[in-house]
Amino acid sequence: MPDIPVGSWAESVVNWLREYFTPIFDAISHVMLWLIDIVLAALTAPHPLVITALAVALAWWERGVGLAVFSLAGMLLLQSMGLWDESMQSLAIVLVASLLAIAVGIPGGVLAAKNRHASSILRPALDAMQTLPAFVYLIPAVFFFGIGVVPAVVATFIFAIPPAVRLTELGIRQVDPEMVEASAAFGAGPMQALRQVQLPLAIPSIMTGVNQVIMMSLSMVVIAGLVGAGGLGSTVVTGISRLDIGTGFEGGIAVVFLAMYLDRVTGAFPRARKQPNKPREAAAVSEPEIATAPVLSKTA
């Protein structure tokens, strides 16, 4: 069989993109660095005990005393191991990449739920994104953005998009069609029904997608350490490369704590109202309740 120079073709494409789109890549790099600097400054400028108190208060408000005590113990452990700055760097990368993935993924899921052609195009793309090994995302990111925190954020952002799209689409499609028809009967337009009926009722699925986005972003922290992103990933990579069991173990414990904390906190976000199980229950709603339902607000 003849040799197919796939590698040469790929190299030509990358060189062409770098030659003609370098200003765009530079602009993206500046924006990413700006976002990382803002989030990192917000996490590191206050005293660690201030951030600890805020994290504990959030955990207590979301899940109660148990998670609050766990959060306090974990935050103090990070400080005692001397990994506070590295943990905040990793958290900044996770937060920026997750926010970008959510900002792209939720609208993408809405589009897929409303347009079957868009869904049929996005589905194979999402399948491919979820089957690719995590390391593969670093290859184009390093080619276009070099070594450092920017390729780590870009690769993490792309890697974390699929669950936001899939679970947003799933949540909207699972909304009872009778609820949407009832909103249309009371004069709600498509966008108003989406905003006041479908999205609120799809919140559980959407928030599950947000949770998965954050978890997938955090799973890239160690891998991002291979491209000089800093944070806990570099700590773990250093421990592995030097066969330093203590350093690697401390970095791993810090990553596990951040994962558990973010998972528990984001998993407790508000849930949507329960839908009526039967049409007769929906019909039995009193007139004052119907009058105050957000779907009937024609001024929204």
In a domain, 114, yes or no: yes
CATH number at residue 195: 1.10.3720.10
pLDDT range class, residue 270, cuts 50, 70, 90: low
Domains in the chain: how many in total? 1
In a domain, 76, yes or no: yes
pLDDT range class, residue 198, cuts 50, 70, 90: confident
In a domain, 6, yes or no: no
Backbone angles phi, psi at 278, to 5 degrees: -130, 150
In a domain, 45, yes or no: yes
pLDDT range class, residue 274, cuts 50, 70, 90: very low
pLDDT of the residue at 269: 64
pLDDT range class, residue 69, cuts 50, 70, 90: very high
In a domain, 224, yes or no: yes
Q: Which two tokens stand for residue 86?
A: 């590295």
* pLDDT of 273 strictly over 80: no
In a domain, 1, yes or no: no
Top-confidence residue, 45 or 298: 45
Helix then strand count (H, E) for the chain reads 17, 0
Lookup result for tokens 């609120």: 200
What's at 290, amino acid-wise? Answer: I
Contact status, residue 213 vs residue 101, Cβ threshold 8 Å: yes
Closest by alpha carbon to 105, among 10, 2, 216, 267? 216
In a domain, 28, yes or no: yes
**pLDDT tens by residue, 162-180:** 999 999 998 888 888 887 7
pLDDT of the residue at 1: 64
**Residue-number span of the structural domain to which 243 is assigned:** 18-273
Q: Which two tokens stand for residue 15?
A: 């060189």
| Contacts for 76 with CB less than 8 Å, ≥ 6 apart | 52
In a domain, 158, yes or no: yes
Report the C-alpha gap between 4 and 30 in whole angstroms: 38
Q: Helix 231-241 and helix 245-266: axis angle, to 10°? A: 150
